[in-house]
Amino acid sequence: MSIPRITALLFICCSTASSFAQTDAEPRQWISLFNGENLDNWQIKFTGQSLGVNYRNTFRVIDGVLRVSYDNWNDFSGEFGHLFYDQVFSHYLLRVEYRFVGDQVVNGPAWAYRNNGLMLHSQDPATMTLDQEFPVSIEAQLLGGNGVDQRSTSNVCSPGTHWHRGDELISRHCTNSNSDTYHGDQWVTAEFEVYGNEYIVHRIEGVTVFELNNPQLDESDPDAQRLIQQGASILLKEGYVALQAESHPTEFRKIELLPLPIVEKTNIVF
């Protein structure tokens, strides 16, 4: 189902739907989160390392491309990394161009083969514990194919979170999209249209492949519990954007964000 921008996401399984009225008519411009030159405005957090440590120089910029590189690694022992843009967003369109390259580092987990992701509505990296593996967030999972088997991309994983599909609460960790499989080292364009706590739409090469609504903290998750104790709302209305280092080399040549007008929800019966 293709959804025009700044419109309601209608779930036909429900007796009511949400319509969204624009309340901010100011013109918006794309923000290049990655400037093609350096990691200015980005913060790094690796499992087992203090905030700001670029462990083994994993995140780097070479020839205008942001690379998740494992050239300096002999093996992998659970040192998951995340690169956070240093600004909170709530309503936006995020567009990235990514590809997987090379070989996975030795001892990288099998599930992390050609695996990266965009963490949406992420917690502040400064609130992560030293040994925390993943930030509490809604992960738009990016996956590459192995050249043979089908493997969707732009799936959803939920470290410390839950979300809804219509009125159904989805509590499993990962849910696959209906995207095509992208084998080899080809560049792929992914878009994520985010409206606060209302809904999120995933597109790959312009095609809608996943929709979810009402993202929220998982009150049974220890990391989410700690955020709640610190005053965080159960409903995920905003947060940081981050990309991952999960043991497979990945490249990003474009990371840009278009702020969208704040919208207000009204219920209608149809």
Q: The whole model's pTM is what?
A: 0.88
What's the pLDDT at 26?
58
- Residue 15's SS3 state is coil
- In angstroms and rounded to an integer, the radius of gyration of the C-alpha atoms of the chain is 18
Model pLDDT for residues 32-45, shown as the tens digit of each residue: 999 999 999 999 99
Q: Where are the domains of the chain?
A: 41-258
Q: What is the CATH number of domain 41-258?
A: 2.60.120.560
Comparing 18-27, 145-154, 188-197, which segment has the lowest mean pLDDT?
18-27
Residue 28's pLDDT band (cuts 50, 70, 90): confident
Mean pLDDT for 200-208 is: 98
Cα separation, 154 vs 174, in Å, equals 11
Model pLDDT for residues 208-246, shown as the tens digit of each residue: 999 999 999 999 999 999 999 999 999 999 999 999 999
pLDDT higher than threshold 70 for residue 24:
no
pLDDT higher than threshold 90 for residue 142:
yes
What's the pLDDT at 154?
98
- Tell me 110's DSSP state: G
Comparing 12-26, 98-112, 145-159, 214-228, which segment has the lowest mean pLDDT?
12-26
What's the pLDDT at 3?
40
What's the pLDDT at 6?
37
Cα separation, 154 vs 190, in Å, equals 7
Other C-beta atoms lying within 10 Å of the C-beta of residue 121:
27
Mean pLDDT of the chain: 90
Which candidate, 47, 8, 37, 22, places its Cα nearest to that of 223?
A: 47
What's the pLDDT at 268?
26
SS (H, E, C) 142-210: EECCCCCCCCECCEEECCCEEEEECCEEECCCEECCCCCECCCCCCEEEEEEEECCCEEEEEECCEEEE
